[in-house]
Chains A and B, each alone.
Chain A
Amino acid sequence: MEIYEGMKFTKEHEWAREEGGKVYIGISDYAQNALGDIVYVELPETGKKVKAGDPISVVESVKTASDIYSPVSGTVSGVNEALADSPELLNEDPYENYIAVIDPDDLSELEDLMDEEEYREFCSREE
């Protein structure tokens, strides 16, 4: 699975990617694999203000419900509506299918997150 250039990762297995001053967020391949078949995504409301580390969405698989935490602080400016009817998109391609877009308060927060190499290392220790 392709990981986009400059993608950042949290210890909770979310990814964040900056594009045109906005931050797209989603869950990693490791996360979707651990969850199994995803059957519901509770999308945040646009306009919602979040701090880095706040719960922003809930992804539910057949077995369990898992909180998704915002990697950055800011305001939700958009959500991936396609997930409402096709939550399985997160299993099929977790990096192409974002959950929400954040208008960030401070882009430098991304620097606190893991880059691809650090995240791969982190995941290998989680096994």
Chain B
Amino acid sequence: MENECRKTPLYDAHVKAGGKMIDFYGWLLPVQYSSILKEHENVRTRAGLFDVSHMGEIEVSGSDAFEFLQYMLTNDITARPGKAVYSPMCYADGGTVDDLIVYKQSENSFLLVVNASNTDKDFQWLQDNRKGNVDIKNRSDEYAQIALQGPEAENILRSLATAADAQDVLSGMKFYRYVNEIKIGDVKVMLSRTGYTGEDGFELYCRPDDALKLWDMLCDKGAAFGLMPAGLGARDTLRLEAGLPLYGQELSETISPVMAGLGRFVKPGKGDFIGREALVSQLEGNMSHMLAGFGMIDRAIPRTGYEVYHDGRKVGHVTSGGFFPTLKKNMGIALVEVSCAGEGTDLEVLVRDRKYAARTVKLPFYKR
């Protein structure tokens, strides 16, 4: 396994910290260090540090880059300076290519941060649809990414961002804001107040050569604030509890952003874009299935792929589910027929050939 898998610059640090390494879409990453439950809890109450260097970075530049991205993405990327934009990227039929975050680096240059497993596919899709004066580069090898998440995240950064202007930057930085360059200790990073946990937090992008230094520095300074490294296991339970979609489960070639309840990131008013017609039709209610959050009433754990029934009839399947550590309940998200997606609908989930009662609930499950 190790020979085929790629290592992030932080691989040795994970092993040293007792990380249980697994193959995650071709990357060797820690699924946990000590316990998923403990790491989850620590992010909710103090802070956790995640290596997300496997994420992809694609740079789109050129005098037509803005127009090109407006055509490729469903959200409107016209944003005030320093504001990151989350957007799905869709096929003509509304199916999802990927979901990503757009950072404007300069007037004619944008950085798209994409799912690791989709990087090559996204790059190809952008290339295949390229028009005008646009240059597309896969910059993934030039970035490491560390996510610092949890209520203590800002305090930890403050203890490291010693320059006066850096303190000012942090003070004025709201959720989904970013700065292209700031020094954390003596490491230059792109800093974004974003994350995938449902908590306050930051994502730090740096050169791979600086990653270990940055990681160690955050671990050292963060210890006093209760910071612990956290693995992919906690990353998944945290994002699911916060109702955040995972590509391949809540979004896919057959699950559009509108079906996934992400209609607010589809902006037909901005002009033409790939998937516009199909998505507008879905926004008007023309779709058979959509996602719904649910909680188990009977004692059983719903998991990805389990069948979902209503009045004895199969109406869909679980996209993600499990034991929710903060809420201490068995819950999940299911793709179901639209008529069953309303809040308070009685469902049954098939677990090992037996049906267990569940009921739909409003998303997100957890809100800080």
Residues on A facing B (Cβ under 8 Å): 36-37, 39-40, 42, 58, 60, 62-63, 65
Question: Is B31 positioned at the interface, with any CB of A under 8 Å from its CB?
Answer: yes
Determine the chain A residues whose CB is within 8 A of the CB of B37 once the complex forms: 37, 39, 62
| Alpha-carbon gap, A36 to B20, bound state (A) | 10
Chain B residues whose CB sits within 8 angstroms of the CB of A58 once the complex forms: 352
Which residue from B31, B299, B352 sits with its C-beta under 8 Å from A63?
Answer: B31
User: A-contacting residues of B (Cβ < 8 Å)?
Assistant: 31-32, 35-37, 233, 237, 299-301, 303, 322-323, 325, 330, 352
* Bound CA–CA A62/B32 (angstroms): 11
Nearest-CB distance from B321 to chain A (Å)?
11
Is A63 touching B233 in the complex (CB atoms < 8 A)? yes
A39 with B301, Cβ < 8 A, contacts A58-B352, A62-B36, A62-B322 known: yes
In the complex the two chains form, is A62's CB within 8 Å of B352's CB? no
Q: Which 10 interchain pairs have the tightest Cβ spacing?
A: A39-B323, A37-B37, A62-B36, A60-B301, A37-B35, A40-B301, A37-B36, A36-B36, A63-B233, A62-B323
Task: Decide yes or no: A36 and B303 within 8 Å by CB, A62-B237, A62-B322, A63-B233 being known contacts.
Answer: no
Interface of A is mostly: strand
Structural contact, B303 and A62, CB atoms closer than 8 A: no
Collect the chain B residues with CB atoms within 8 Å of residue A37's CB. 35-37
A62-B323, A62-B325, A63-B233 known; A36-B301 Cβ under 8 A: no
A126 to chain B, nearest CB (A): 14
Contact residue among A36, A42, A60 (Cβ-Cβ distance under 8 Å from B35): A36
Give A37 to B352 CA distance when docked, in angstroms. 21
Which one of B32, B300, B330 lies within 8 Å of A36 (CB-CB)?
B32
A65 touches B303 (CB 8 A): yes
Which residues of A lie under 8 Å from residue B323 when comparing CB positions? 39-40, 60, 62
| B297 CB → nearest A CB, Å | 15
Query: Contacts of A39 on B, CB cut-off 8 Å?
Result: 37, 301, 323
CB distance from A33 to the nearest CB of B (A): 9
13 A-B residue pairings within 8 Å (CB atoms): A36-B31, A36-B32, A36-B35, A36-B36, A39-B323, A40-B301, A40-B323, A42-B300, A42-B352, A60-B323, A62-B36, A62-B37, A63-B36
* A42 contact set on B, CB distance < 8 A: 300, 352
A63 to chain B: which residues have CB within 8 Å?
A: 31, 36, 233
Q: A37, A39, A40: which has the most chain B beta carbons within 10 Å?
A: A37
- Contact B233–A65 (Cβ < 8 Å): no
CB-nearest residue of chain A relative to B299? A40
Separation of A99 and B299 alpha carbons in the complex (Å): 18
